[in-house]
Amino acid sequence: MEIIIKASLAEAQREAAEIIARQLRRKAASVLGLATGSTPIGVYAILTEMHKEGLDFSKVKTFNLDEYVGLSDDHPQSYRQFMQQHLFSRVNVAPGHIHFPDGRAEDIPAHCLEYEAAIRSAGGIDLQLLGIGSDGHIGFNEPSSSLASRTRIKTLTPRTVKDNARFFGTADKVPHHVITMGVGTIMDARACLLLATGESKAEAVVGMAEGPITANLPASVLQMHPDCKLVVDEAAATRLRRADYYRWVYENKPDWQRR
């Protein structure tokens, strides 16, 4: 795992956007796994500006990590609407290349198998963008999720419901179930990029990067991924014990590794 510590939220978002842009410049028909929530909003804003300057999304295919069960596609808090607002309406991605879990599927287990098959049919995910919950979840793989899990329905913990209440106004309006890519599905991506910012994520970040690999902190399994970048701001890095070493490594990378 490469740990990149940036001085500020804005610099961390810029770094994450640059990593995604480099992927698209290397492979125009990249398959991106995308995340929602407050963490990636700034990244999508920067990618939008890069698109205005020529970054092409026309051949890109996307698969979103998750969706609430029971919300319609046009519900203002659905993740489809989130992505439409913050990225898809602003870049030239083809509507037919966009994929989401269907939170209103009549047969959810069958739909989850179909979603996995669609990812395989697209050639697998080239780069998976991730955030991390304050309890260490990735996607909506809550603590105790199997580290080999595939796309499936999950029940949110009270902590996650509370964390997401700000988007719905009150906690009692937050759906209690989601469809999410599994940890194993995420690990199949050829590269992973996790962005974590703010002091509230510091405990999860140190557990993920320097703690034991455990289902009780699902993001910790990314220590086993062959190509994972963790981008954090100084606030999220406050508990990292080897922060100085991570900074030194990043500052002394050979030029070819920065391309």
The pLDDT of residue 114 is: 98
Give the CATH number of the domain where residue 28 resides: 3.40.50.1360
**For residues 243-253, average pLDDT:** 95
The count of C-alpha atoms lying within 13 angstroms of the C-alpha of 247, restricted to the half-sphere facing its C-beta, is 12
Q: Is residue 259 part of a domain?
A: no
Q: Which of 65-79, 156-170, 234-248 has the highest mean pLDDT?
A: 234-248
* Tens of pLDDT, residues 83-94: 999 999 999 999
Q: Is residue 84 part of a domain?
A: yes
Overall domain count for the chain: 1
Q: Is residue 258 part of a domain?
A: no
**For residues 151-179, average pLDDT:** 89
- Band the pLDDT of 34: cuts 50, 70, 90: very high
* Tens of pLDDT, residues 71-116: 988 898 899 999 999 999 999 999 999 999 999 999 999 999 999 9
Residue of 135, 163, 188, 233 marked active site: 135
The pLDDT of residue 163 is: 83
To the query of whether residue 142 is one of the catalytic residues in this protein, the response is yes
pTM for the model stands at 0.94
pLDDT at residue 258 above 80? no
To the query of whether residue 66 is one of the catalytic residues in this protein, the response is yes
Residue of 67, 116, 126, 142 marked active site: 142
Residue of 15, 51, 66, 225 marked active site: 66
Domain, as residue range, for 142: 2-253
Q: Is residue 232 part of a domain?
A: yes
To the query of whether residue 199 is one of the catalytic residues in this protein, the response is no
pLDDT at residue 257 above 80? no
To the query of whether residue 233 is one of the catalytic residues in this protein, the response is no
Residue of 51, 86, 97, 137 marked active site: 137
pLDDT at residue 259 above 90? no
**For residues 215-239, average pLDDT:** 98
pLDDT at residue 169 above 90? no
Taking the C-alpha atoms of residue 187 and residue 177, their distance in angstroms, rounded to an integer, is 22
Q: Is residue 69 part of a domain?
A: yes
